[in-house]
Amino acid sequence: MADAGPDNVAQTARNRAKIAVFISGGGTNMAAILYASRLADAAYEIVLVASNMADAGGLELAQLEGIATFVHSHKGHSRANHDAAMEAAAKEAGADYLVLAGYMRILSDEFAQRWQGRILNIHPSLLPKYKGLNTFARAIEAGDSHAGASVHVVTPDLDAGEVLAQARVAIARDDTAETLGARVKLAEHQLYPRSIADYVSRGSDPGHLFARVRELALALPETHERTSHGSPGFRVGSEKTGKYFAYFSDRHHGSGHIALLVKTSGMDELLNLVESQPDTYYKPAFYGASGWVGVILNRPDADWDHIAEWLERSWRSVAPARLTKLIDAADMF
Ligand code: GRF
């Protein structure tokens, strides 16, 4: 386990996301991620560095810096078995996220699905250009003005998940794959720690949470947005006669919650929810008195399918029958 020296104790006292970094090689990105995590106010800490290669250079550095390491060779193991061993180690270390940094193994679809939205990778090209290998040679060959690196969310499709951020690197006339690659590495070391920090902070970022709520709310039929008492709200129906079905509340009235307020069937259901799942629900000031419940969004395991269901249910409870019939018909297919 990591050595809990005085510095580490101070760091973990704050609420940092826990990441496991998977490497296969030199681990220079891992080193950049690691030293960024040692800065004051870092958003994450590394709980494990894991590798499929016993001689991966980064392992030694991780050990020197008091970080737990794990090695499991892929040789002689099926992909599923190897994945399972890596996954078990990450879980045991308490990782919330997996960060691939030069990890030269393709994860099984099942693994990628189980950690959906919680695995990041860095790829040395400006995606969607040049997925796969030999990216620098291909960029030079194509006569591109810039190469670069992309941080993306890992999905079962190789190098195809949402791109979170990119760094561009100009290509010099006399660049070789090696010289260009060396400069892209420098850019990667700036890009990756920042992207990880932004990504793991999303869940407590009101701007990000509001954007997600808005997208879901406005995807429901005949909806529009209108501010009410300083909070953004969403209504169904016409601008004139529409009714509110949701509000977004950013730590209003002294609550520490960033929340979606939606209509329950009444006080019994509201109190029942709050009592049985206090980490998910609370009774908001003012709105609570009329049966609106607060669904807490700034929690690590916020379930967005569930949030979408609440929005639809609340929308249904005030939408005119001609619209609910429409959505019923659509749901049948
Ligand atoms: C980086 O170039 C990264 O883009 C790719 O693998 C390389 C890892 O390098 N995915 P390092 O081991 O971090 O030095």
Confidence of residue 8 (pLDDT cuts 50, 70, 90): very low
Ligand 1 centroid to residue 123 C-alpha, Å: 8
Q: What is the pLDDT of residues 133-182, one digit of tens each?
A: 999 999 999 999 999 999 999 988 877 889 999 999 999 999 999 999 99
149 lines ligand 1 (CB under 6 A): yes
CA of 29 relative to ligand 1 center, distance in Å: 6
Q: Rounded mean pLDDT of 254-266? A: 93
Distance 41 CA to ligand 1 centre (A): 26
pLDDT value at residue 2: 40
Assess whether pLDDT exceeds 50 at residue 1.
Answer: no
Give yes or no for residue 96 CB within 6 A of ligand 1.
Answer: no
Q: DSSP string spanning 183-221?
A: HHHHHHHHHHHHHHHHHHHGGG-HHHHHHHHHHHHHTST
Query: What is the structure's pLDDT at 320?
Result: 93
Choice among 11-25, 254-268, 273-287 with the minimum mean pLDDT: 11-25
Residue 6: pLDDT band (50, 70, 90) is very low
The rounded distance, in Å, linking the Cα atoms of 121 and 104 is 11
297 neighbors 217 (Cβ within 8 angstroms): no
User: Which of 303 and 125 is assigned the larger pLDDT?
Assistant: 125
Atom of ligand 1 nearest to the CA of 149: 4
Least confident of 56-70, 185-199, 223-237, 319-333: 319-333
Q: How far apart are CA 10 and CA 203, in angstroms?
A: 23
Please choose from 104, 183, 188, 196 the residue to mutate so as to test ligand 1's pocket, defined by most ligand atoms within 8 A of CB: 188
Work out the mean pLDDT of the chain and round it to a whole number: 92
- Whether residue 74 lies in the annotated active site: no
Q: How far is the CA of 219 from the centre of ligand 1 (A)?
A: 39
Give yes or no for residue 191 CB within 6 A of ligand 1: no
User: How many angstroms separate the alpha carbon of residue 100 from the centre of ligand 1?
Assistant: 9
The answer, yes or no, to whether any atom of ligand 1 lies below 6 A from the CB of 45, is: no
Is it the case that residue 98 has pLDDT exceeding 60?
A: yes
The token pair at 38 is 């040692």
Could you tell me if the CB of 27 is within 6 A of ligand 1?
Answer: yes
Task: Report the sign of the C-alpha dihedral through residues 124, 129, 130, 135, in that order.
Answer: negative
- State the closest ligand 1 atom to the C-alpha of 58, by its place in the atom list counted from 1: 12
pLDDT, mean of residues 94-112 = 93
**pLDDT digits 0-9 by tens, 236-249:** 999 999 999 999 99
Q: Model confidence over 169-223: pLDDT tens digits?
A: 999 999 999 999 999 999 999 999 999 999 999 988 999 999 999 999 999 999 9
pLDDT of residue 7: 43
Give 212's Cβ-side CA count (13 Å radius): 19
Residue 14: per-residue pLDDT: 55
- Mean pLDDT on 108-115: 91
User: Does the pLDDT of residue 13 top 70, yes or no?
Assistant: no
